[in-house]
Chains A and B, each alone.
Chain A
């Protein structure tokens, strides 16, 4: 699915990612954990194509293509979806409008026919159920006046409609109460399949109780210093990130 090789990236001249190596296969869910400032969100943004970041070195091969050479929209059209940590509000553009255009742009890129209005609405209705979206949220402007939880749910809803091959969830769990977290997690679980993969960027272990990852990676100072299974997340939760700050070498060695 995606292979990240020795990825180094900087913003405003400051190197944030210092050589990331990560391979995610079809059907896998990977969690990336780490303290604040370790580069988790940067990794998500660089994969999605945020132009403020300068890629210094490395490759990101997505289904055989080096996507670092593609525009953000072409990455989306290839099947990458980023659920934003802070989804933006876009007054005047309705959710429906956004999704119809997005879907048509993606289909056009892939040489497929645009969805007709009826099929589109039917599909929207079906996907709305996944994350308990209400009709009024749908016709409202994108995220405008949404609560934190509604914004995150809307990200997952968009993901459900666009049906990407790789979904990257950037701290989708932060700021969610437990009920909203359950809704979001069950939405993601419903989308899991053998064909698509997920990268969950998160600070906390809690999300992983609901979306069980196949692999957990610890990102620290711009590098993945350790990888393991779900137990690694529990270990981190127990020790806390401060402990890593003090015992980084010992942690990597064991």
Chain B
């Protein structure tokens, strides 16, 4: 049998048991999205290198996996393993998922003062009226075959809702944690809704206590209404054998801001699709990224910023550091539509290749249909500067320290505007740890 058919069969086999577990939930309109998405998933072509959007990302490895669907029994909490990813607990609102299942005992569910932070299952039961207009409607469930797959299994994930004028006093930290050695498929689904003039900071952490093979296929949707501000950091530290595919779709209304930082260290194969759309004037979007690859890792970043309206500003800086046989892909598209006059768009991808066998395929793209705009884009690929290394060594820096210092300096550019200091420091430590390993 064709491998991709087998793949589809395996991955649709969990649907019935999900449906059975929903009880009354299967009567909600949301379930129609699941069913339609499953249908699309089964009918769509599995991506190959012949597809322009997947040209550099070979997905055949995923076809060989013997997937299992996690259930409530798969959540086995081992506090000590989690500690590393839950440092300074009290500075955040934490939501923890262990092997794909929400863990209420390690999480802080909050609903106060006009802000809801909860797991998605709970939210569907309790706040369905808030969810229904947006879930599966900001992103097109048929965006990719993987978005469809995720949409067919909408169940676990995080819901954040900020009422008008509310500012969440601590960042929300979401930890998707794996400590199993089974070939689980995890499909988190996040929905962030920020009403007018509200502010929220979110950190998504994907982590594993071991180097096992599993598949994270997550989707995040967000709506940032007028004058609201969403800061969104993603720290991907999956197992070095895991597959990690995510799609994010954010809609940004008038005078609002969305700042995303996409940091990738883990997994054997990463594919990030981030689409952000200006749906109101005088708004701002940051899509920054940092990816560190080694061994045979592949990190593929696809971004799209849609300047659909005038007077908006977008800033995109993706930095890569690739070692060993690792590969990176940057495909960033900035679309400036006909009416989007006075657009200011900046896009840059810079990569350092640390070895002869590392490789980056970079494709910054501007599509401009308006005539009064300021847009720049570019890409550079280089190596660590030997003169700089020698300079630092001549001042007493050891070779390793010289290299990490230079790479940190190169990389932090992409993350230095993160407003959560602890996270910024954590990323710097992760860079150092990654380089010395």
Chain A interface (Cβ < 8 Å from any Cβ of B): 48-51, 71-73, 75-77, 81-82, 84, 87-88, 90-93, 97-99, 101-103, 105-106, 109, 141, 158, 162
Which listed residue (B385, B398, B406, B412) contacts A105, Cβ 8 A? B398
Beta-carbon contact of B401 and A72 below 8 Å? no
Interface residue? B397 (CB, 8 A): yes
Interfacial chain B residues near A77, Cβ < 8 Å: 396
Interface residue? B106 (CB, 8 A): no
Interfacial chain B residues near A93, Cβ < 8 Å: 405-406, 409
Interface residue? B8 (CB, 8 A): no
Interface residue? B387 (CB, 8 A): yes
Interface residue? B71 (CB, 8 A): no
Which listed residue (B394, B397, B399, B409) contacts A82, Cβ 8 A? B394
Beta-carbon contact of B393 and A76 below 8 Å? yes
Interface residue ranges of B352-407 to A (CB < 8 Å): 385, 387-388, 390-399, 401-402, 405-406
Evaluate whether A90 and B391 lie within 8 angstroms (CB atoms) in the complex, with A101-B401, A101-B405, A105-B401 already known. yes
A interface majority secondary structure: helix
Beta-carbon contact of B396 and A109 below 8 Å? yes
Which chain B residue shows the least CB distance to A86?
B387
Beta-carbon contact of B413 and A92 below 8 Å? yes
Which chain B residue shows the least CB distance to A52?
B386
Interfacial chain B residues near A90, Cβ < 8 Å: 388, 391-392, 406, 409
Beta-carbon contact of B394 and A76 below 8 Å? yes
Beta-carbon contact of A162 and B396 below 8 Å? yes
Which listed residue (A71, A92, A98) contacts B392, Cβ 8 A? A98
Most central of B387, B392, B401, B413 by chain A CB within 10 Å: B392
Beta-carbon contact of A92 and B388 below 8 Å? no
Beta-carbon contact of A92 and B410 below 8 Å? yes
Which chain A residue shows the least CB distance to B405?
A93
Q: In the complex, what's the smallest C-beta–C-beta distance from B184 to chain A, in angstroms?
A: 39
Which listed residue (A71, A92, A102, A109) contacts B395, Cβ 8 A? A102
Beta-carbon contact of A73 and B398 below 8 Å? yes
Beta-carbon contact of A102 and B409 below 8 Å? no
Alpha-carbon gap, A92 to B428, bound state (A): 13
Evaluate whether A50 and B390 lie within 8 angstroms (CB atoms) in the complex, with A76-B396, A101-B401 already known. yes
Beta-carbon contact of B391 and A88 below 8 Å? yes
Alpha-carbon gap, A86 to B387, bound state (A): 10
Beta-carbon contact of B393 and A106 below 8 Å? no
Which chain B residue shows the least CB distance to A80?
B394
Interface residue? B26 (CB, 8 A): no
Interface residue? B144 (CB, 8 A): no
Alpha-carbon gap, A81 to B399, bound state (A): 17
Beta-carbon contact of B387 and A105 below 8 Å? no
13 CB-based A-B contacts, threshold 8 Å: A49-B393, A50-B390, A71-B393, A71-B399, A72-B393, A77-B396, A84-B394, A91-B409, A93-B406, A97-B405, A98-B395, A102-B397, A158-B395
Interface residue? B408 (CB, 8 A): yes
Q: In the complex, what's the smallest C-beta–C-beta distance from A94 to chain B, in angstroms?
A: 9
Q: In the complex, what's the smallest C-beta–C-beta distance from B387 to chain A, in angstroms?
A: 5
Alpha-carbon gap, A102 to B405, bound state (A): 11
Alpha-carbon gap, A16 to B412, bound state (A): 40
Alpha-carbon gap, A141 to B408, bound state (A): 13
